[in-house]
Structure 1
Amino acid sequence: MDFLEFNPNFGVLICTRCKFALAPGTVGSHLSNLHKDQVTLSERRDCIALWANKPIQPAEVIQQLDVPEDAPPVPKLALHSNGVCCLLCREQAYICGSVRSMQDHLKKAHAWTSGCKAGRPSKADVAKGRASAFPTVTLSPVWYQTFHVSNFRRNFRVAAPLELDEGGPSGAVPPPPASLEAQVELQLTEKMRVSDEAASTVLQLPPEQSAWLQTTEWVRYLQGHDLRAAAWLIALPHSSSKPEPDLITILDSFDRLVEQARKSVKQGKINAFDQQRINSFLRSGSRTSKASDRPLAHRLKEGTYKTYKKTWKQLLCFVFRMVYQGQQPALHCLLTSAQSAAIDELACAARTFVRQQELLDASEESGDRASGEDQMQSLQRTLDSACLRFSIALLDHRLMGDIFDSVAVGFLAVLGINSTRDGFQEATTYTPHLSALIKIAQMLILQRAVAAVDDGETEYPSQMIDDMQDRFMAYGSRSPINWAQKLRVYGKKIRDSTTSLGYMVWSEDRQKLTYRDLELSMSGLKQFARWQVEAAQEQLQQLLLIHTEEAREDVVPKLRLQDLKDNPALNQVGQSFLTDPRNPGLQGYDRWLLNRVLKYDWLQDEFLIDVKKAIWRPRAVEHYIGQVDSFLEQLLLLMLMTSGQPARGTELTSLQYCNSAHGRRRNIFVENGLVTFVTFCHKGYSITNSTKVIHRYLPQEVSELLVYYLWLVLPFCRQLKLLALNSKELASPYLWAAKESQEPLLLQDKKAIRLPHWDSSRLSKVLQQEFKAYLNTTANITLWRHAAIAISRKHLGGLKFKRDYGSEPAPTWAAEQTGHTANVAGNVYARGIEEAPGHVELARTEYRALSRTWHSFLGFGANLGVLPPNSLKRPRDESRRGIEDGNLSLSSPIREDEVDLEAEIQRRVKIEVEAEVKAVPHPAQDLLYAVRHHAAGEEEHVARPQLPLQAEVVHVEATAGVVAPGHQHSGPSASSSSSCGRAGHQSCRSGG
């Protein structure tokens, strides 16, 4: 079609009759709306097909094009000569066709005023003021064009045309489109553009504000200013934006300051008393809070420090751009004399450093660089010192008038603008910024005190720390930090009383769960647990070097978990249940696998190159160690999923199976036939200096896998590394120890290096892989933790898992009678000889009940086809044969007609809980009775079973009479609980 022309330079399709470009996909609508009488239906279809595959650029891309001001006009586009250009815009200058539109832009985007004096001026004064002020911030007339006239309209300036098209008069504007639709579209586009610009500006106080905005007063501070322009002031420099070398140099200096502060604390330049002082926000002499007893929490993760530093970098950008460079919008602030001097000193140091760096780079080309290195080091120290003093000056501002007199408080308001630049952040998302500001401020104060000692300003850091702390860091100091503390306290109250968004969806029959990207059926989850155990058992058989013609039960030493003893109270280095002398069946097997290799020819051929010279095959050994890593990944997944409420990834990967030489006790034990692991970690440990002691128990099938690995496989791995790989690695107490590093961490120490444990990313990776392969869904640690909580609430209603296990036992009448709380009674009185530090019997019993109920829900012991514990022979069930024969897919659910899983689980739980409740004191019985009633399918409010007749009579005799005023009836004693109804049950024999 002759009036549609493609411009290859810009990638736009231009309608030569309408004089503007068409957005991709709008050719048909444009022709039907504006050229309906000129184009037939068949021609329109041909035109759509013709331009469908052409490389037409999207309108949003064209809108961001940076067209040079001296570029010639784009052919076939409308050319206007009455343009007014804004000189205050930093990038992509705003251009319009009328003075009124430009005045509106200046007021809204740049807070521009005409400069008229107060009072009602005369018309002559108004005209004179506008004539003198408006031309200083605008340029007119200019030639301009626009590609699109829709929502992506942006006028851009071009050079004056060399010759006018068709001999028209100079400055002539093409007539508007003849059709009514085109005129309405142009009018609507302009109105919508003005409306969008007004929406991003806070014009007046809203009639109703939230309590959060009323407290922050952000609306009052930013009233009449463009939020997008204000938010740009705190944007970090980017490679695609205008170069800001001075500002980038200042931000690099700030990075060095924070690292210097961290090193000062680690090197002991700030002692424990000074750390406690900086961590207390109370004035000297008024330390009555326990918070003042905690040292500064400085051992944060690198990612946390990076996030915290970003907030302070945004503060430096805000002050440097608005105060020093005078960029718009000009928000209110009143600098102190110290702040004004500090920012001038910092800007001068940054400019000098940048210029010297440019000279040094130029001298590098000429081969003379060494002479300038020393000077650069000196300039860098000067810059860092100026940056530190300026940062402290921003904090040292006593607010006696408007709180926004402080430029730091004004920055907090701009920081509260949301990501869409059309409103403000909620308190739930804003408080981390306040914590970042306060934490880095504490580090800067410590570094300022250290620098003062180095410069001879003071004798000890504590002297300057006390002064700065009382002046602008303590409560009631009327400082920016004091304002941030108030906002943080109020914001946390809002956050604690606000529920998070819900994403959990259950099917009507409660058998299918959907949470974000995770889709999970209960039958599929139980089948998944079965497959994972079978896969781990097969991997263990390979690690035990069992020949295909050998029967595992005839080769591998027998093991009964119920017979194993353990003493968690022992603290000797290397102590574990493997070294307990009461387990003679575990002794003497350290070289069992090595002896098999030395005994059988087929294993010698696999692991040895030369049998006579005992030369090992490194590749075979590395392959075996790789198999061990795969098994450990499988074991890690099983321990996450089968132990009850899922632990955090870092808690699992940091488990120790034996006591270490650094004072850390092991947290893997054996108790009554089950392996239990205890986690002491807590995500708030660095803040509260306290941990939660949480017990989790593994099902017997998984416990057996772990014990066999520690008993037989782990010693063989160490022996192979020494013999074949000549490893210098020390024996690690971690169950998931990391591989040996290729480069030493301590160059001055030639001794072997103790390796850290696995990172939680390994767990996340295997979790994603297995869920995708077997269940065809997406999963990670966080998703599974939420899913496990939801499953426990929905299917274990009487035994709801909390977000974390609580460690505070419920009060009992027996504890009240002793005159102590239940916590003190469990921690101090009548403790068993084998109780480990921090372990409480009542809590451990309740945790075991929780884990055992979760085991039964997953089907462990009910349908996994596991033989008695003295045999390692694992029969292949029908479902596994179906998978191997190709008749059953991995995603197939359990056949409920073959195995009534729920009925079997309920029967087993009821029997086991009845057996366990006999030995459990109140209040754990309430928890176990709830499990029992749920497993039996009874209602939640079913009464407890009646006591035997003799017990009832004894109870009546003991409690008969009048109860004294103020006394309470204690009810039946714990000793009258019902016993197990199944004689000889395994849980009773083993202590359940």
Structure 2
Amino acid sequence: MLVLSNFAAGDRKQGKDNPFRCYKEEPTLVSYFQRMKELLVFFYRVAYREGGHFTVRAEPDAATVSSTSERQEYTQLPQDIIRPTNDQRSAMQHILDKLSELKTIDAWSHRSTGGDRQAVAAEKEKDMVEELKPAVRDFFMQLICHEFEGQPFQSPVLSFCAMLSRKKAHAGHRSKDCARPSRTGLGDDERDDAERQRLNTGGWQEAGNYNSNLSALIWMAQVLIFESVYHHHVNNGNDSITNQLKKLCEKFLHQAQDTAFARILSWRLYLTKVSKGAIASNQARWSSDGRQITYLGTTLSITEHIPQLILAQYQRAYELLFDSLLFEEKSIGTMQPGRLYDDLDDKVFNSSWLTHPKNAELLSGADSVLMKCIAQRPDLKTHFYQYVAEEDKAKLNKRAVDVYEASVQEFLQALATLLHISPMLSMAPCASSGTAAARYIS
């Protein structure tokens, strides 16, 4: 298996080669096989079928496209560039012939009424499926072992990779995103203009996401090479599996060769380099002077917006806690967190400061204080309880409880914002509205 990972001359002297990862999780395998199915369909529709899959666009206006070269580029389609080899076409035709025979057997079995005939048809269908497997394997091997010179996208595999590099336009977002005006500062926390344009018109895949598509093709190519060599060894046995693998890997899976998968391996190296230094769409970026931070198109000033954000979230959390969650009840006493004991090094399963023995006296009765408050106030009792005539008793109103739980989640969301802000940012000076003196948010 190490030979399959031997893409760079195979010396393994620098210790950077990774062994072939034969084990993959089920969702990963499903996505990898899906990519190969898409490659087969792409070849049939775009490169093999007469006339291709795409149609010529409307003739451009003379004012828009002036030169002959621009006009040719405007009407050029993928099937005009891709140049499949005769062997690749023959392999695809072989698959289609087998599928045609399989379809004939299936139709004959449906017309047959006798049990013996149906059994014979089922046996023939099983044999035909077994014959179809090597036909599909041989087709993919023709794609893997494709040597070419010149235009890389003459290769069906590399043209397929080019298709994978593009994102689809999100038609469902087009109307509402185009109608929404562009906002700056604290106004738009969702997407900036560039993000809306990407949703409307599509765009390029991020380097990391596109790299995963290439990894899927490479892993499947490795598996197909091994399977092909194994079947060749079983049928012929002239050469050892290791020697045959080495020859194929050095010839078709080496970056110095002019093959489709050699190009893919080179692309993956470049993409890995780019993805390590790229800024993800959900990653914040600092300005060069360290005074501003940009996230999803929204720019925040450390000295202006961060203190505003802290004050707004603190006020929101305070109002939710005392007005909604504690029912504006003045009789409910506050608790000093510094008096509570919390052992962060406690390794006991399911341990918590709520159940720690040292907090028992402080927390005595805390679990029922809200229920007592509801029972003592008629307005809360009417809101949270409803009388059930069939059972002749009052029960908790599920809708009221759901609304209360939603307020709890909103309170925790406000706290989460405060917890994710660095203490250094919360100490940033901001201008006072009354004086020019600096004050600090603590």
- Scaled to the shorter chain, the TM-score interval is 0.5 to 0.7
Task: Tell me the residue number matched to 2:85.
Answer: 336
State whether residues 507 and 513 of structure 1, in contact with CA within 8 Å, keep that contact through their aligned partners in structure 2: no
Structure 1 partner of 2:109: 360
Q: Out of 294, 305, 329, which is 2:29 matched to?
A: 305
Instruction: Give yes or no for contact 1:511–1:523 (8 Å, CA) kept in 2.
Output: no
2:118 is equivalent to residue 369 of structure 1: yes
Q: Does 1:868 align with 2:393?
A: no
| Pair 1:475 & 2:275 matched | no
How far apart, in 1, do the equivalents of 2:113 and 2:234 lie? 33
Check conservation: 1:279, 1:291, Cα contact below 8 A: no
Structure 1 CA distance, aligned partners of 2:215 and 2:312? Answer: 40
State the partner residue of 1:314. Answer: 38
Shift of 1:436: 1.2
What RMSD, in angstroms, separates the aligned Cα atoms of the two structures? 3.9
**What is the match of residue 627 of structure 1?**
none
**Match among 387, 405, 426 for residue 205 of structure 2:** 426
Q: Which has the higher contact order (CA 8 A, sep 6+)?
A: 2
Distance 1:289 1:369, change over 3 A: farther
Cα separation, 1, equivalents of 2:20 and 2:318:
46
Is contact 1:427-1:494 (8 Å) kept?
A: no
Mapped to 2, the partners of 1:388 and 1:413 lie a distance apart of 23
Q: In the alignment, what sits opposite 2:48? A: 324
Q: Deviations over 1:819-844 (max 9, x none)?
A: xxxxxxxxxxxxxxxxxxxxxxxxxx
CA gap 1:457/1:318 in 2 versus in 1, 3 angstroms: farther
2:242 is the alignment partner of 1:462: yes
CA distance 1:883–1:468, shift in 2 (3 Å)? same
Gaps of 5+ in 2: 55-78, 171-200, 283-294, 299-305, 322-341, 375-379, 381-403, 410-421, 429-442
**How far 1:366 moved relative to its partner?**
6.4
Structure 1 CA distance, aligned partners of 2:319 and 2:148? Answer: 64
Could you give the per-residue CA deviations for residues 403-451 of structure 1, whole angstroms, max 9, x where no partner exists?
A: 1221211222233332129554234332221111111111111111221
Per the alignment, residue 450 of structure 1 pairs with 230
Letter paired with 2:204? Q
Which 5+ residue runs of structure 1 have no aligned equivalent? 1-274, 515-519, 526-672, 675-697, 708-859, 894-930, 940-992
Distance 1:892 1:402 in 2: 60
- In the TM superposition, residue 334 of structure 1 has moved relative to its aligned partner by 2.5
Partners of 1:938 and 1:401 lie apart in 2 by 60
* Bigger-Rg structure (1/2): 1
The 5 A counterparts of 1:132-143 are none
Cα contact 2:166–2:205 (8 A) shared by 1: no
Label 1:369 to 1:431 Cα distance change in 2 as closer, same or farther (>3 A): same
Matched-pair contact (CA < 8 Å) for 1:417–1:425: yes
- 1:87-102 matches, cutoff 5 A: none
**CA deviation string 1:506-565 (max 9, x = no partner):** 783537779xxxxx959989xxxxxxxxxxxxxxxxxxxxxxxxxxxxxxxxxxxxxxxx
- Distance, in Å, in 2 between the alignment partners of 1:511 and 1:938 is 12
Same amino acid, percent of matched pairs: 17
Partner of 1:393: 142
Cα distance in 1 between the residues matched to 2:113 and 2:262: 49
Change (3 A) 1:867 1:436: same
Matched residues in 1 for 2:32 and 2:23: separation?
A: 13
Give the 5 Å matches for 1:188-267.
none
Q: CA deviation at 1:368?
A: 3.1
1:884 equivalent in alignment to 2:371:
yes
Cα displacement (A) at 1:333: 2.4
- Letter matched to residue 213 of structure 2: H
Name the structure 2 match of 1:282.
8
Mapped partners of 2:217, 2:202: distance in 1: 22
AA aligned to 1:387 is: V
Residue 500 of structure 1: aligned partner = 280
Determine helix, strand or coil for the equivalent of 2:112. helix
Hey, what's the Cα distance between the residues in 1 that align with 2:155 and 2:113? Answer: 44
Q: Does the CA-based 8 Å contact 2:43-2:156 persist in structure 1?
A: yes
**Aligned AA (2:2):** Q
Matched, 1:351 2:96: no
Distance 1:456 1:522 in 2: 79
Deviations 1:124-152 (A, max 9, x none): xxxxxxxxxxxxxxxxxxxxxxxxxxxxx
State yes or no: 1:486 paired with 2:211: no
Aligned length: 291
SS in 2 for 1:335: coil
Distance 2:309 2:104 in 1: 72
Go from structure 1 to structure 2 and tell me whether the alpha carbon gap of 1:318 and 1:464 turns closer, same or farther (over 3 Å shift): same
Instruction: Give the letter for the 1:320 counterpart.
Output: Y
Distance 2:318 2:22 in 1: 44
Kept after mapping to 1: 8 A contact 2:152/2:158: yes
Contact 1:356 1:376 in 2 (8 A): yes
CA 1:938–1:310 in 2, change beyond 3 Å: closer, same or farther? closer
Instruction: Give the whole-Å Cα distance in 2 for the aligned partners of 1:436 and 1:309.
Output: 8
Asked if the contact 1:308/1:440 (under 8 Å) is kept, the reply is yes
Q: Secondary structure of the residue that 1:397 maps to in structure 2? A: coil
Q: Is the 8 A contact 2:48 2:89 kept in 1?
A: no
Q: Give 2:131's aligned residue.
A: 382
Tell me how far 1:499 sits from its aligned partner: 1.7
Match of 2:215 in 1: 435
